[in-house]
Amino acid sequence: MRRRNVAPRIIPVNGRDPRRAEEQENRTLTWAICAALILTFIIVVYLFESTPPDFIPIPSTLPNASRVDAFDPHAWGTYRSHTYFGLRTKYPNSPLFGLMWYKQPIYEASSLGIRHTCKQEEGVQYMWKDADGKSFGHQDVIDKELKFETNWVGVDSSFSTEIRVLPSKGDIKGRKYAFVFYMLMTDEEAKMFVKRDASGVLIGYQGEAPGIGKFDLTFENEGSAIITNTSMHVPANFDPQKVDEFFQRFLWLNEDAFIDIKAKSFNENMSDAEPRNLFFVQFLVDDKSVIRANFNARNSLSKNAFKPLYTQKLNAFREEFDKKYELEQSQFPKSYKTMGRAALSNMLGSIGYWHGHSTVLIGGAVRLPYGPLTLVSAVPSRPFFPRGFLWDEGFHQLLIKQYDPVMSVDMVATWLDSIDSHGWIPREMILDTEAKARVPPEFIPQVPDVANPPVFFYLIESFMKTPDFMAHHSRRLVQLYPRLKLWYTWLRTSQAGPHKGTFRWRSRNATTNLELNPKTLPSGLDDFPRASHPSGEEYHLDLLCWMAMSSRVLRQIAEYASDTEFMPDIEADMTLFNDPENLDKWHWNEAKQRYFDFGSHSDTVSLISENQRDPATNGVITIKRRHVKTYPSLRHVDNVCGYVNLFPMLLRLLPPTSAKLGIMLNSLKDPKELWTEYGLRSLSTKSPYYMKYNTQHDGPYWRGPIWININYLALAALKHYSTVSGPHSAVATKLYTELRHNVITNIANQYQETGYFWEHYNDKTGKGGGSHPFTGWTALVLNIMAERYD
């Protein structure tokens, strides 16, 4: 999917041969010739693969998919996904507002442990429990014994926010908590000054910012609090990521303030007349306190505005939620309903906005800026993946579209507007310093021949099946069409397989001997095993199915767009890619009665530890290398069964009457293969790759754990096959009911137990694993509960 692999700390050895066979007794002249041919072939493929593209990507000049007035650029929102609580507008140089907190130290600590950007290791629990992704939100935060809510509401270019500190759990021995609001002006045109009352007491800040106009910022609190304020002017290249470090350093320099905050001011070292671009307001409070900040632009916020506005938004959101998802009528316990609302809210509350340049890697060596791009996107996980991921976003939007279809299309449009003139869309969107926060530098560059599953087509198909949406917004799909077409035609050529009607994900590493099975990152299924020896001869089942589905959808939109010229072309694609005979010809294995990938494959590969001298230290280090016992040959990858093998069913290539569909459905419940009490696992326990490390350090990812996006596709497909008449509808219905029950129950149990949604779930115990909170596509549990697949 998106794993950040830790680069192995190993020095590659020269002269390695990935195909070194150990059993060489029956080697014959024929074998030697074969080997030589294969080697030549691999070298040619490697050279071909690593040839720099002869172009430098530039953004496409096709008409924009985005509507000009889709988003108010000066309305505030929680678009700083990677912070526990941060607000900004969708204007590139927006002011950045944020919250930090720490426990007042009782002794001189070297670090205050300031909470600011989401870090999994801090063990904080946080989740938007109510949020519409636009104008308000309610988030619960639990940091050990400290519990509080961060609530906010926006009107025009103003906002009001309330931090409500709840009674602490346990004995806190009179310790106080420091909550710090800050605001950083990133636009050099923006000006900010201190604001004092008649008697000269500082009562807040005021100023003017582009687009927002004149504003003032005031603070209030309920309960006793010691409030200290400071403001300053920092250089233009100030990194908002580091605002916490900066603040801590500031406290060190003002030692009294740090250890024992009396009601004395921090050192304001500027005169009132000088403009500032950063302030901190610190409240030192007990539990059971409330603090507020009011950002009032052009006087659109009335006095004491927070409470009535917030209450009204909250009630309206909950009402709409109940109306849209109709969970009342279901058999679910009340806690499930609350979980469903949290899944949606945290998805919406984590939506981010980024503007800047992506970095592309040309020819494996040259890094160039690509853009500027503007993205509005949901994120898989705030602590781990607080940025846009192309295929994840398709699944996120399947959730968001149920709640707010217009916003959903507008968000997808920002993705399409990042397409380059050839039709490539960056797989990961890392556009500004805030997005770079959690990305190791070597993973920042995007490679312009790397694809990712076109889930947006699946999403658009579901839009097209919603009559209400089509009645009002079908023209919107036509606006997306030119860029969708460009993307599709790029996928069709750049990921073409060795034969017409086959497809191959690019960018597998054909020369490594450090991976048990070289990863296929573009597929989204990272380490899901494919042909053991990557080559230009292989072709991938899932990609054919993605292309078949995409061609169906594009043909439909081409018709709406009256693109008659393209019609014969796309119809031919659609017919060929969706033809069961084409599918069977390349992927069906009669002996094993299954669909498989095809490629240069050996059944007997393993990682074996070797000792090696470390030139740096001259000590001995152990590294794992891949050993291959039997030569690979061109054939089906038939010792692998998992998510990939289900794709002809998942994306509904198989007609309801297909005997092969029957075979697939009837084997789905085998607990030794994919069926578990918690959902479908990614890889059969019978596969030699099941739960195997891919390298010395790289644990199994898509080799066993249960992933909710694929379970969602399975449920949607089973529902489909259960409702269309055919010989398999009864078995599909039964599978649907049981799988749905298993998936929902397990996610709910884990949520009750841990307070989180998880990246994936353990196939033996159901326990959540990987990054968390991971609302991402796991949040589709709400659609599954409400049975909203279209």
Ligand X SMILES: *[C@@H]1O[C@H](CO)[C@@H](O)[C@H](O)[C@H]1NC(C)=O
Binding site for ligand X (CB under 6 A): 12, 50, 64, 68, 201-204, 219, 227-229, 232, 250, 253, 265, 269, 281, 374, 509, 511-512, 514
Torsion (CA) 472, 475, 476, 482 in degrees, nearest 10: 160
- The residue (of 219 and 751) whose beta carbon lies closer to ligand X is 219
Report the DSSP pairing between strands 225-232 and 278-285. Answer: antiparallel
- The residue (of 547 and 628) whose beta carbon lies closer to ligand X is 628
Torsion (CA) 102, 105, 110, 114 in degrees, nearest 10: 0
Measured CA to CA, the distance from residue 342 to residue 760 in angstroms comes to 18
- The residue (of 274 and 326) whose beta carbon lies closer to ligand X is 274
Measured CA to CA, the distance from residue 253 to residue 655 in angstroms comes to 71
DSSP class of residue 120 equals G
Least separation in angstroms between CB 263 and ligand X:
6
- The residue (of 265 and 312) whose beta carbon lies closer to ligand X is 265
Per the CB < 8 A criterion, the answer to whether 549 and 491 are in contact is no
- The residue (of 314 and 514) whose beta carbon lies closer to ligand X is 514
Quickly count: other Cβ atoms within 10 Å of residue 195's Cβ: 15
Measured CA to CA, the distance from residue 89 to residue 155 in angstroms comes to 12
Q: Phi and psi of 380, rounded to 5°?
A: -65, -40
Using DSSP, state whether 232 is helix, strand or coil.
Answer: strand
Least separation in angstroms between CB 244 and ligand X:
15
- The residue (of 314 and 376) whose beta carbon lies closer to ligand X is 376
Least separation in angstroms between CB 201 and ligand X:
6
- The residue (of 269 and 311) whose beta carbon lies closer to ligand X is 269
Q: 467-471 long-range contacts, Cβ below 8 Å, gap at least 24?
A: 469/405
Least separation in angstroms between CB 643 and ligand X:
24
Least separation in angstroms between CB 284 and ligand X:
11
Residues 6+ apart with CB under 8 A from 245: none
Least separation in angstroms between CB 392 and ligand X:
23
Per the CB < 8 A criterion, the answer to whether 503 and 615 are in contact is no
- The residue (of 17 and 581) whose beta carbon lies closer to ligand X is 17
Tokens 């072309």 correspond to 569
- The residue (of 512 and 556) whose beta carbon lies closer to ligand X is 512
> What single string gives the DSSP state of each residue in 380-440?
SBTTTB-SEEHHHHHHHHHHHHHH-HHHHHHHHHHHHTT-BTTS---SEE--SHHHHTT--
- The residue (of 154 and 371) whose beta carbon lies closer to ligand X is 371
Q: Phi and psi of 350, rounded to 5°?
A: -100, 0
Least separation in angstroms between CB 574 and ligand X:
30
Task: Tell me the one-letter amino acid at 73.
Answer: P
- The residue (of 227 and 634) whose beta carbon lies closer to ligand X is 227
Measured CA to CA, the distance from residue 780 to residue 372 in angstroms comes to 32
Quickly count: other Cβ atoms within 10 Å of residue 657's Cβ: 12
Least separation in angstroms between CB 519 and ligand X:
10
Least separation in angstroms between CB 232 and ligand X:
5
Closest CA to 456 of 500, 400, 501: 400
Least separation in angstroms between CB 253 and ligand X:
6
Measured CA to CA, the distance from residue 349 to residue 131 in angstroms comes to 6
Residue nearest to ligand X (CB): 512
Helices 541-560 and 467-494: crossing angle, nearest 10°? 130
Beta strands in 166-212 (DSSP E): 177-184, 191-196, 202-209
- The residue (of 412 and 782) whose beta carbon lies closer to ligand X is 412
Measured CA to CA, the distance from residue 628 to residue 565 in angstroms comes to 51
Measured CA to CA, the distance from residue 398 to residue 327 in angstroms comes to 18
Q: Phi and psi of 304, rounded to 5°?
A: 50, 40
**Which residues are known catalytic residues?**
526, 759
Measured CA to CA, the distance from residue 583 to residue 579 in angstroms comes to 6
Q: Three-state SS string across 663-710, please?
A: HHHHHCCCCCCCEECCEEECECCCCCCCCCCCCCCCCCCCCCCECHHH
Using DSSP, state whether 212 is helix, strand or coil.
Answer: coil
Least separation in angstroms between CB 372 and ligand X:
8
Structure tokens at 299: 């006087």
Structure tokens at 71: 């988003």
Give the C-alpha distances (Å, rounded to integers) separating 301 from 220, 305, 539, 699. 15, 6, 59, 52
For the chain, the residue count is 790
Least separation in angstroms between CB 636 and ligand X:
25
